[in-house]
Structure 1
Amino acid sequence: MGTESMGLRESKKQETRQLISDHATRLFMEQGFEQTTITEIATAARVAKKTVTNYFPRKEDLALDHHEAFTATLARAVADRAEGESPLAALRREFIAAVETCDPVAGFAGPEFARMIAESPTLSARLRELHDLREEALAQALAAVAPAQDPAVAPRAAAALLGAAHRLLFQRIQELTLAGEPNARIAAVVAPEATYVFDLLGAGLSAGES
């Protein structure tokens, strides 16, 4: 019974968190991120203002509520890759799969959401910070599997290159989204561009190993 009660409480917490996030995102897109207050979000979600800040200590995280999944994506791809698969191959495979499914974590969040971020200096700065955190997590994952003979800087150097590539492709998806292109068209454009980018990375990283 205790375990069941804990499960119900956890489920209720997740429902409340999602409810708050949904109302916040709606208000941000309608009014703008900077113009929307925590009090307005609490009123719309019918919860106390303190409840909102308990679930989301930072206002930016109300809009970018999948930030933990975003920052962990690249490191997880490296850690979970198949035996014998290189980190680059795993990251290429994961990104192409994300494009095929129009994954929001890859940047397919829709024009209203993309515009909300582009028009908010605060959210734009937070997104840049999340890209940096994602690169740091990737560097740690690469360090965990780096050959002993590699120089100490190697994992960070590879993460910088790979992180920059993913940042570029994310921005490309956002750019096409803001231009009014539908997801299917964006995917059709970005897939071959991603192949080109990963081919460049492959040549560069291979040269670094020789």
Structure 2
Amino acid sequence: MGIETPGLRESKKRETRQLISDHATRLFIEQGFEQTTIAEIAAAARVAKKTVTNYFPRKEDLALDHHEQFTASLARAVAGRAEGESALAALRREFDAALEARDPVAGFAGPAFARMIAESPTLTARLRDLHDQREEALAGALAEAAPSPTIAPRAAAALLTAAERLLFERIQELTLAGRTNDEIAVEVAPEATHAFDLLEASLGDFAVAGAEAEA
């Protein structure tokens, strides 16, 4: 009898999780999020209902299965900023890269997916909650980078995530209008530049990596 290694077990778990997510997304798009049941998803994926809820405790997470990556994305960009780079510059650079890559985390999820979210009050509310969680995570990262005064990291996070949220919603809006990803990227690029430029005066030198060590 062969021994299943931890690596193989983890690989199987990832495959099962992806299988469930793929079937759930297909059913949500075909039938609507609110109308699709966990039992239908389990049957489509050929797993038990309990397996579905073990991997996805919330039904919304079956649709928004990149939620952990999404909520951590801004904080991770700030934590990984280069020496001498401000938080604003790091987020601007990361957004430009996401735009170039047509990254789903930035909003490039395709018309069917965007429509699924727009037509579901539950998913719309959950997405708002994820934006709020992303702001909280960013505020935590900024508090480590620039802890004083206490209100500053939260104020900076509110301003930065407002710009990021606006750009995400803009990409979704253009997607629903029938524009291609390439067309969206061309239109959003100068809009993103303008949005970040508006923050430059107030946050251009906020949370610069290495600044505290030099002080």
Quickly name the TM-score band, shorter chain normalised. Answer: over 0.9
Superposed CA offset, 1:97-141 (max 9, x none): 100110000000000000000000000000000000000000000
Aligned mate of 2:150, from 149, 152, 161: 152
Letter aligned with residue 63 of structure 1: A
Unaligned runs of 5+ in 1: none
Secondary structure at the counterpart of residue 150 of structure 2: coil
Greater CA deviation, 200-209 or 11-20? 200-209
Identity across aligned pairs (percent)? 79
2 CA distance for matches of 1:97 and 1:194? Answer: 12
Letter aligned with residue 177 of structure 1: T
Instruction: Give structure 1 regions of 4+ aligned residues with deviation exceeding 3 angstroms.
Output: 206-209
Secondary structure at the counterpart of residue 62 of structure 2: helix
| TM value normalised by structure 2 | 0.93
Higher RCO structure (Cα 8 Å, ≥6 apart): 2
Unaligned runs of 5+ in 2: 208-215
**Which residue is equivalent to 1:87?**
87
Q: Would you say 1:191 and 2:189 are equivalent positions?
A: yes
Aligned mate of 1:173, from 171, 174, 179: 171
Letter aligned with residue 21 of structure 2: S
Secondary structure at the counterpart of residue 179 of structure 2: coil
1 CA distance for matches of 2:3 and 2:197? Answer: 50
2 CA distance for matches of 1:86 and 1:205? Answer: 8
Alpha-carbon offset, residue 208 of structure 1: 8.7
Alpha-carbon offset, residue 151 of structure 1: 1.5
Secondary structure at the counterpart of residue 116 of structure 1: helix
Letter aligned with residue 14 of structure 1: R
2 CA distance for matches of 1:208 and 1:100? Answer: 26
Q: Would you say 1:164 and 2:162 are equivalent positions?
A: yes
2 CA distance for matches of 1:56 and 1:115? Answer: 22
| TM value normalised by structure 1 | 0.95
Conserved? CA contact 2:139–2:156, under 8 Å: yes
**Which residue is equivalent to 1:107?**
107
Count of matched residue positions in the alignment of Structure 1 and Structure 2:
206
2 CA distance for matches of 1:84 and 1:105? Answer: 26
Within-5 A mapping of 1:1-210: 5-146=5-146, 150-206=148-204
Distance verdict in 2 for CA 1:3–1:35, change over 3 Å: same
